[in-house]
Amino acid sequence: MRLDGIWLASASKRRSILLEDLIFEKPRIKLVCSPLIEDEISPKKPTLKETVFSITKMKMENAFLEISLGRLEELDFRGDSVDISKIVTIVSDTLVEDPDSFEQVFGKPSDILEAASMLKRLSGRKHKVWSSTGFIIHRSLNFNHIPDFEFENWLGYIWTDFSTVEIDDLSEEILFELLNSNSWEGKAGAYDLDGKMSKYARVKDGEKITVLGLSSTAMNKLVNLF
C-alpha cells in the first residue's frame, strides 16, 4: 500500500510535530497542515467520550464536504504527480476532564484568566485527557477495517482514547511562569505536556501521544497504513 500524502485538517502545531516525527523516515509522504474552514465546534454530548467523539465526527463531516468540493486538489502537496486517492485526511479533538466534575470538560482557554482558572483546578491532582482522531481514506486503499462513515468514495474511521495525567502542586511562581510563557494558548486544559508543563506533570496511565492531541490507537493504525 502506498500513501502520497496526509492532510492534517487542524491548526495544531503539536499534532503537526507528532505526525512529522511519525513520517520522518517516509520522505515520499508529504504532510500538509491546513485547518478546516469551520474547525472549532462546541461540545454537545453528556459524557467526555461521547463529547470528544461527537466533535471529531462533526469535523469529519466538514472534511468530507471540503474534499467533495476539491479541497485536496488545492492543498500544497507535490503538484500534478499526487494521486488524490492516496492522501489520508486526519481530524482530531482533545478535551481535558475537570477533576471537580467528571462530566465537565476543559477545552482551549479563551484568555489568560480562564487559563489561570483551569491550571489552579488541575494543580496537585490527577485528571483524564481524551483524544478522538479520525481518518478519511479512499476506498481504493483497501484499509481492512469496517468504516464508521462513508461518503461517495471516501471512508471515515474514528478512534478515541484517554490517558491519566498527574500535575504537581503549582505554586504562584510556577503559575506565573506557565501563564506568561503563553504555552497555554490553543491547548485544552491550558497546558502543553511537551512544553513548559513537562517539568510539573506526567502521564500515570495511557499513552503520552493521547495527551498531546492524537489518539494512540489511531496512530498505530496510521503506521499500519504505511
Is CATH 1.10.3720.10 the right assignment for the domain spanning 5-225? no
Are 27 and 123 a contacting pair, CB within 8 Å?
A: no
Q: Give the chain's largest Cα–Cα span.
A: 55
Summarised one tens digit per residue, pLDDT across range 16-74 is 888 888 887 777 788 888 888 765 655 555 678 888 899 999 999 999 999 999 898 88
The whole-number pLDDT of residue 44 equals 57
The whole-number pLDDT of residue 218 equals 94
Residue 31: phi, psi to the nearest 5?
-100, 125
Q: Is the pTM of this model over 0.85?
A: no
Cβ atoms within 10 Å, residue 100: 10
The whole-number pLDDT of residue 60 equals 94
The whole-number pLDDT of residue 84 equals 86
Exposed/middle/buried for residue 6 (C-beta within 10 Å: 0-12, 13-18, 19+): buried
Residue 94, beta-bridge partner list: 131
Cβ atoms within 10 Å, residue 213: 25
The whole-number pLDDT of residue 33 equals 86
Low-confidence ranges of the chain (pLDDT < 70): 1, 38-46, 78-80, 102-103
